[in-house]
Amino acid sequence: MISSQESRSLIVKIALFAGAALVIFGCGLCLGATVTAILTYQKPFAFSPGSAGSSLDHPAPPGTAVLADDLEIRVTGTVRPADDIVAEGSLLNPRPGPGNEMMLVTVSLTCRLEEKDTCTFIPAMDFLLVSPVAVHRPKWLVTGLPHLLESGEVSAGETVSGDLVFEVAKEETGLVLVYADIFGDRVVYLQVR
């Protein structure tokens, strides 16, 4: 027979487990909804149909600048595989799983606002790397890389550049970098080699 105290303890444990499961499930739904919204979102006035950077089908070629609200973005380089580079940064940096490799995507960001204004960016939230088979978020617990793009601000007329770190499957091709500022209203697509 179970005492009332043991019964209450069991009920509390079940409630905590159920609450944790709901939080995990809810976070998964939020990420899924965010990814779906970013990949399907298109402002009718944002681009002329078929222009470079307007969709997954028409990403801007590497080196081509695309304007997302007041931030001009371009992919300036890639390193793949980048397992050794990421590992040399710190022993705590992520390691690729079986069949995967680390990849660096170098981007440049130029603020096109009026003078005395700044553009803000949060790489871990603003960027996705998309292929026909997967969607990847940048790794944000990475340290010790000399050219890592970190969250910040860039003043009007100035440019910053840096690397985004992704883990991708070794055979994955057709990669497109998607930028969607969580505070803006533009989504742009940039081809990655």
Can you give 92-158 as a three-state secondary structure string?
CCCCCCCCEEEEEEEEEEEECCCCCCEEEECHHHHEEEECCCCEECCCCCCCCCCCECCCEEEECCC
Instruction: Say whether both 85 and 171 belong to one domain.
Output: yes
53 lies in a domain? no
Neighbour count for residue 82 (Cβ, 10 Å): 20
What average pLDDT score do residues 166-185 get? 90
The most distant pair of C-alpha atoms in the chain lies apart, rounded to whole Å, by 75
Neighbour count for residue 121 (Cβ, 10 Å): 23
Instruction: Say whether both 121 and 187 belong to one domain.
Output: yes
| Structural domain harbouring 34 | 1-40
Q: What are phi and psi of 98, to 5 degrees?
A: -60, 130
| pTM of the model as a whole | 0.75
Task: Dig out the tokens for 70 from the structure.
Answer: 């007041």
Quick check: helix, strand or coil at residue 159? strand
pLDDT band at 114 (very low <50, low <70, confident <90, very high): confident
Share of the chain above pLDDT 70, in %: 73
Instruction: Say whether both 110 and 187 belong to one domain.
Output: yes
Is 63:74 a contact under the CB 8 Å cutoff? yes
Instruction: Say whether both 119 and 172 belong to one domain.
Output: yes
What local confidence, expressed as pLDDT, does residue 51 receive? 82
First and final CA of the chain: distance in angstroms?
66
Flag whether pLDDT at 67 surpasses 90: yes
What local confidence, expressed as pLDDT, does residue 46 receive? 42
59 lies in a domain? no
Neighbour count for residue 39 (Cβ, 10 Å): 18
Share of the chain above pLDDT 90, in %: 64
Instruction: Say whether both 36 and 76 belong to one domain.
Output: no
What local confidence, expressed as pLDDT, does residue 129 receive? 97
57 lies in a domain? no
30 lies in a domain? yes
116 burial type by CB count under 10 A (0-12 exposed, 13-18 middle, 19+ buried) = exposed
Instruction: Say whether both 24 and 85 belong to one domain.
Output: no
pLDDT band at 116 (very low <50, low <70, confident <90, very high): confident
180 lies in a domain? yes
72: which strand partners?
A: 67, 110
75 lies in a domain? yes
CATH code (residue 124) = 2.60.40.1240
What is the per-residue pLDDT across 8-61, written as a single tens digit (0 to 9) for each?
A: 555 655 655 565 555 555 545 445 544 554 554 443 334 455 688 999 999 999
pLDDT band at 185 (very low <50, low <70, confident <90, very high): confident
Instruction: Say whether both 100 and 156 belong to one domain.
Output: yes
Q: How many domains does the chain have?
A: 2
